[in-house]
Structure 1
Amino acid sequence: MKVVVREKQMLDLGGSMLNEDGPTVADQVSVTAVGLFDSEERLVPLVSEYLTFAVRSANLAALSAETYGRNIGYLLEHLKDTPTFKSSSYDEILLAVTQHGIQRYFTNLREVDGLTSTTIRNRDACYMALFNDFLCVGGKHRSAVREDNPYAGGFLSPPPKKDLVYPCSMQELKALIESSSSERERCLIQTVFDAGLRRSEVGRVTLGAVNRALAFAQANFVADDAEDWVHPDYCPLYIDGSKGRGKEFKPRYSIVSRPVLERIRRYHASPLFRKHARRYETADVTPCFFNSEGRPFNPDAVSKLLERLSKRAVKSKRAERMVSPHKLRHGHAYAILTSPDFGDNYLDKLLMAQKSLGHKQTSTTETYTELPQEVFHLVCPGTGEISTKAKNMADLAAQATLKIRLGDKK
Structure 2
Amino acid sequence: MDKAVIISSGGNIDTSISVAHENSDTYPNILVLEEGVAVFNDQMELLPLISDFLTHYRKNHSDKSIKTYARNLLYLVKYLTIFDENHIESKRDDCLLTVHSTEIQKYFDYCRKDKNKDGSVKRAIKGKTISNRDATYGSFFSEFLCNPPPGYKLMREEDPYENGSLAGVAKESLIKPALFLDIEALILVANHERERCLVQFMYDSGIRRGEVEGILQANILNLSRNVRQSIIVDHETFQVPSPYVSMEINGNKGRNREAKVRNTVVSKETINRVQKYHSSLEYKKHKRKWGKIPMPAFLNENGNPYNANAVGKLISKLSQRALKFGLIKAPFSPHKIRHGFAAMLLHSEDLGKTNLDRLLLLQQCLGHNSLKNTQKYTKIPIKVWEKFVDSNGIALKRYQLMEKLKNRTRPKKGS
TM over 0.5: yes
Instruction: Give the Cα–Cα distance (whole angstroms) in 1 for the partners of residues 315 and 177 of structure 2.
Output: 14
Alignment-derived partner of residue 7 in structure 1: 19
1:327-354 per-position Cα deviation (integer Å, ceiling 9, x unaligned): 1111100111000111121211111111
Give the alignment partner of residue 395 of structure 2, picking from 377, 386, 394.
386
**Structure 1 residue identity aligned to 2:397:** T
**How big is the shift at 1:313?**
2.1
Q: 2:255 aligns with which of 241, 245, 255?
A: 245
C-alpha distance in 1, partners of 2:202/2:299?
14
User: Aligned partner of 1:393: which letter?
Assistant: M
SS for the counterpart of 1:387 is coil
| Residue in 2 that maps onto 1:172 | 182
Distance 1:236 1:168 in 2: 23
Is 1:116 matched with 2:116?
Answer: no
Per the alignment, residue 274 of structure 2 pairs with 264
Give the conservation status (yes or no) of the 8 Å contact 2:320–2:331.
yes
Superposed, 1:139-154 pairs within 5 Å as 149-151=123-125
Shift of 1:387: 0.8
2:224 is matched with which residue? 214
How does 1:69-84 map onto structure 2 within 5 Å? 70=50
Q: Is the 8 A contact 1:183 1:404 kept in 2?
A: no
Q: Which residue matches 2:333?
A: 324
Inter-CA distance 217–376: structure 2 relative to 1 (3 Å threshold): closer
Corresponding residue SS for 2:256: coil
Residue aligning to 2:306: 297
Return the match for 1:41 from 18, 37, 40: 37
Counterpart of 1:184?
Answer: 194
Which runs of no fewer than 5 residues in structure 2 stay unpaired? 7-12, 72-99, 131-166
Q: Which of residues 266, 286, 289 is equivalent to 1:279?
A: 289
Distance 2:272 2:323 in 1: 29
Deviation of residue 206 (structure 1)?
Answer: 0.9
The alpha carbon displacement at 1:88 in A equals: 7.8
CA distance change for structure 1 residues 224 and 42 in 2, over 3 Å: closer, same or farther?
closer
Q: 1:187 to 1:2 in 2, by over 3 A?
A: farther
Which of residues 365, 368, 379 is equivalent to 2:377? 368
SS in 1 for 2:247: strand
SS at match of 1:286: coil
* Cα shift at 1:278: 2.9
Contact kept, 8 Å, 2:109 with 2:169, in 1: the verdict is no
Other-structure match for 2:154 = none
- For each residue in 1:313-372, what CA deviation from the matched residue of structure 2 results, as whole angstroms up to 9, or x when unmatched? 233333222232111111100111000111121211111111111111111111111022
For residues 133-184 of structure 1, give each alpha carbon's deviation from its aligned partner in whole angstroms, at most 9, with x where no partner exists. xxxx9xxxxxxxxxx95549xx976653221112111112112111123111
Structure 1 runs not aligned, ≥5 long:
11-29, 57-61, 95-114, 138-147
Question: What's the counterpart of residue 162 of structure 1?
Answer: 172
CA contact (8 A) 1:336 1:353 kept: yes
2:243 maps to which residue?
233
1:22 counterpart residue number: none
Residue 400 of structure 1: aligned partner: 409
The CA distance in 2 between the partners of 1:149 and 1:236, in whole Å, is 43
After superposition, the Cα gap between the structure-2 partners of 1:277 and 1:351, relative to the gap in structure 1 and judged at 3 Å, is farther
Q: Which residue of 1 aligns with 2:347?
A: 338
In the alignment, the residues of structure 2 paired with residue 247 and residue 203 of structure 1 have an alpha-carbon distance, to the nearest angstrom, of: 15
Q: Equivalents in 2 of 1:123, 1:31: separation in Å?
A: 36
Q: Bigger radius of gyration, 1 or 2?
A: 1
Displacement, 1:228?
A: 9.2
| 1:267-320 C-alpha deviation (Å, 9 max, x unpaired) | 11112111113332457x311011011110122222222222223323333322
Is 1:199–2:202 an aligned residue pair?
Answer: no
CA distance in 2, matches of 1:226, 1:265: 33
Which structure exhibits the higher relative contact order, with contacts defined as CA atoms closer than 8 Å and separated by 6 or more residues?
Answer: 1
Deviation, structure 1 residue 242: 3.1
- Residue pairs, 1:81-100, within 5 angstroms: 90=67
Answer whether contact 1:253 1:356 (CA < 8 A) is retained.
Answer: yes
Root mean square deviation of aligned Cα: 4.5
Structure 2 counterpart SS, 1:352: helix
Question: Do the aligned partners of 2:108 and 2:169 also contact (CA within 8 Å) in 1?
Answer: no
- Contact 1:169–1:379 (8 Å) recurs in 2: no
Given that 1:333 and 1:368 are in contact with CA atoms closer than 8 Å, whether structure 2 keeps it comes out as yes
Shift of 1:9: 4.1
Deviation at 1:374? 4.3
Q: Distance in 2 between matches of 1:345 and 1:327?
A: 25
**Separation in 1 of the partners of 2:321 and 2:299?**
22
Residue 240 of structure 1: SS of its match in structure 2? strand
SS in structure 2 at match of 1:278: helix
Deviations 1:82-126 (A, max 9, x none): xxx9978948x98xxxxxxxxxxxxxxxxxxxx724213336758
Alignment partners' CA distance in 2, 1:334 and 1:220: 27
Residues in 2 aligned to 1:314 and 1:377: alpha-carbon distance in whole angstroms: 24
Identity of aligned residues (%): 27
Give 1:404 deviation, angstroms. 6.5
The aligned counterpart of 2:135 is none
Equivalent residues of 2:268, 2:399 under 8 A apart: yes
The residue identity in structure 1 corresponding to 2:37 is E
Change (3 A) 1:229 1:149: closer
Q: Mark the CA change 1:325 to 1:41 in structure 2 (over 3 Å): closer, same or farther.
A: closer
Contact 2:105/2:169 (CA < 8 Å) preserved in 1? no
The separation in 2 between residues aligned to 1:32 and 1:151, in whole angstroms, is 37
